[in-house]
Amino acid sequence: MSRIVKIFDTTLRDGEQSPGCSMNLKEKLEMAKQLERLKIDVIEAGFAIASPGDFESVQLVANEIKNATVASLARSTEKDISTAYEAIKTAVNPRIHFFIATSDLHMEYKLKMKPDAVLEKAIAMAKYARNLCGEVEFSAEDASRTRPEFLYQVLEAVIDQGVCVVNVPDTVGYATPDEYFRFIQGIRNNVPNIDKAVISAHVHDDLGLAVANSLAAIQAGAGQVECTINGIGERAGNAALEEIVMALKTRNDIYQADTNIDTTQIYRSSRLLTKLTGVKVQPNKAIVGENAFAHESGIHQHGVLANKQTYEIMTPESIGLKENKMVLGKHSGKHAFVDKLSSLGYSFKDEEILDLFEQFKVLADKKKDITDKDILALVEQKQLAIPEVYSLERFVISTGNTISTAATVQLRKNGDLIEGVSLGDGPISAGFKAISELVGSNLTLIDYGVEAVTDGTDAQGEAQVKISDGNQVYHGRGLSTDIIDASLKAYIDAVNQMIYINETQVHAEKV
């Protein structure tokens, strides 16, 4: 019988530290709710002491999530640990996760502490955390490069103080699978009280070995693995959750281990994270890449048509990937639309359904065929919506290869109409410039891209925009069958995100 390995997801903490992957308060909560649907065991909601905004987001996740443990990271200081506890104490299952570096390199150059002082600090903070919270996890930063005898000593000491999970990270992705396997085995064989705690593996992907090392840790007896959706994270990222989970599921004969994950939520989780951050996965990415279940070679196509198992070791449906055409059109009723939403796993309040149904009707007038992906795009746009200070009313753009491009853009600002005209190097540039001038901010375009949500000449285009006001980068999304319309909407959404984030940060600081 397979044993169950717990999945500790750190998308909202380690993942968000990845450049370009920051999320606002609403986005973090939406991602946390999706992780709950995915049936994650532990959600690391953030680093509570990092900023007032981080504290508020961790606290919000702790208040809302009911079916997963909610953790907050803390350094080995009483202030860090007490702040983490204050943020998570309302959770159904709270966990304090504190850490200290244990390798000679880190102790000498980063901590500037002697080993005995590190050991003493770890013991004191374990005791302090355990007196606050019933569930405490300890991480020995840079554990894979720590002298084994010292690591065993530290782990034994914190377990004696009531720590129930000991995490031994390969912080810089230096270990190899065989090495990490023996490393975990060494802990199991040399820490006398290890039976009172769960061994956890947290592996980075600097050498592209994060998933392989995580699987090696499981084979060696680790009971928890720490990972992120799409493998996002510091530097080269973390171990990819979807790859670990599907490797265990597909090769259960080898690993003899399983998880509590609802794998049919994997694709949706990956897609949502991409929407939130604007960071796409490469087409050939395992499990969730666009090409993961695509077959172009004639030989492959022939084999799959005869028997899918010839070239597919898992089914698209097992990760929640469906490509069913939606038998609905502009004459369809609300009941049929609600049934389709339900079949896709969504439920909404009556007023939200009315709004979505109206958007669907507008889309149905523009598109001949509507697919599940079209509906998913509408739903995701609705879920991620924030208060609109600015909205696009209309635009007219004159362009050509022999004239200067001019954009006339009309916006609504809190209900009032404002209009601006600007010249640019092209329709997108002119439109963005006009919006920037209307907003009255000196904004810099950091990144911009458009991709089709579905196939065909009438596909919806989804635009992704990143802008900067000189202090932070803000991410906006826009959806339309017209790519210029989608692009302008994305730029306006980024402006609204800027206003929303700045207002919530001011609120958090006052609190």
- Residue pLDDT, tens place only, 4-41: 999 999 999 998 777 667 788 889 999 999 999 999 99
**Is the confidence at residue 328, as pLDDT, over 90?**
no
In degrees to the nearest 10, what's the CA dihedral of 44, 45, 51, 53?
170
Min mean pLDDT across 263-277, 359-373, 425-439 is at: 359-373
**Identity of residue 399:** T
Q: In sequence order, what are the residues at sequence separation of 6 or more whose Cβ sits closer than 8 angstroms to the Cβ of residue 186?
A: 148, 152
Amino acid letter, 429: S
Average pLDDT over residues 215-235: 97
Whether the per-residue pLDDT at 298 is higher than 60: the answer is no
Predicted local distance difference test score (pLDDT) of residue 508 = 61
Say yes or no to pLDDT of 56 above 70.
yes
**What's the rounded mean pLDDT across residues 444-471?**
87
Higher pLDDT, 42 or 351: 42
Mean pLDDT of all residues belonging to the chain: 90
Q: Determine which of 14-23, 444-453, 456-465 has the lowest per-residue pLDDT on average.
A: 14-23
β-partners of residue 134 are none
**Tens digit of pLDDT for each residue in 256-271?**
999 999 999 999 999 9
**pLDDT computed for residue 488 by the predictor:** 97
Whether the per-residue pLDDT at 359 is higher than 60: the answer is yes
Question: In whole angstroms, how far apart are CA 68 and each of 38, 39, 164, 187, 446?
Answer: 10, 7, 17, 27, 36
Q: What's phi and psi for 410, nearest 5 deg?
A: -115, 125
**Which tens digit of pLDDT belongs to each residue from 111-133?**
999 999 999 999 999 999 999 99
Q: How many CB atoms lie within 10 A of CB 243?
A: 22
Residue 476's pLDDT band (boundaries 50, 70, 90)?
Answer: very high
Length of the chain: 511
Q: Does 324 have pLDDT greater than 60?
A: no
What's the pLDDT at 62? 98
How far apart (Å, rounded) are the C-alpha atoms in residues 117 and 123?
10
Would the pLDDT of 410 be above 80? yes
Mean pLDDT on 228-256: 97
Distance between CA atoms of residues 334 and 338, nearest Å: 6
- Give how far the C-alpha of residue 152 lies from the chain's centroid of Cα atoms, to the nearest Å: 33
First to last CA, the chain: 50
Residue 91 vs residues 54, 71, 176, 222: alpha-carbon distances, Å: 16, 9, 37, 26
Q: Write down the pLDDT at residue 331.
A: 66
Q: Above 60 in pLDDT, residue 295?
A: no
Asked if 9 and 229 touch (Cβ cutoff 8 Å), the reply is yes
**Looking at the predicted structure, is the pLDDT value of residue 300 above 90?**
no
Task: Indicate the range of 54-58, 149-153, 359-363 predicted with least confidence.
Answer: 359-363
Lowest average pLDDT, out of 144-148, 227-231, 382-386, goes to: 382-386
Residue whose C-alpha is closest to residue 1's, from 260, 256, 244: 256
Report the side by side order of strands in the sheet with 390-398.
Answer: 390-398, 405-413, 416-424
Residue-by-residue DSSP string for 135-185: -EEEEEETGGGS-HHHHHHHHHHHHHTT--EEE--BTTS---HHHHHHHHH
> Above pLDDT 70, what percent of the chain?
93
166 φ/ψ sector (left φ>0, alpha ψ -120 to 50, else beta): beta
Report the pLDDT averaged over residues 263-286.
92
- Cβ neighbours of 117 (radius 10 Å): 12
Position 428, amino acid: I
Q: Which residue has the tokens 């109409």?
A: 417
Residues 215 and 254: their CA atoms lie apart, in Å, by 10
pLDDT surpasses 90 at 147 = yes
Query: Which tokens hold the place of 332?
Result: 């369809």
For the cut 90, the answer to whether the pLDDT of residue 421 exceeds it is yes
What is the mean pLDDT of the segment spanning 195-220?
98
Residue 297 has pLDDT above 50, yes or no: no
Residue-wise burial string across 137-172, b where 16 or more C-beta atoms lie within 10 A, e elsewhere = bbbbbbbbbbeeebbbbbbbbbbebbbbbbbbbbbb
Q: What pLDDT sits at residue 207?
A: 98
**What percent of the chain is predicted at pLDDT more than 90?**
68
Place of tokens 């932070």: 472
Nearest to 233 by CA among 2, 498, 499, 9: 9
pLDDT bracket for residue 510 (50, 70, 90): low
| Range in 163-167, 238-242, 247-251, 366-370 with the lowest mean pLDDT | 366-370
Local confidence band at 441 (pLDDT 50, 70, 90 cut-offs): confident
Helix, strand, or coil (residue 30): helix
pLDDT of residue 330: 64
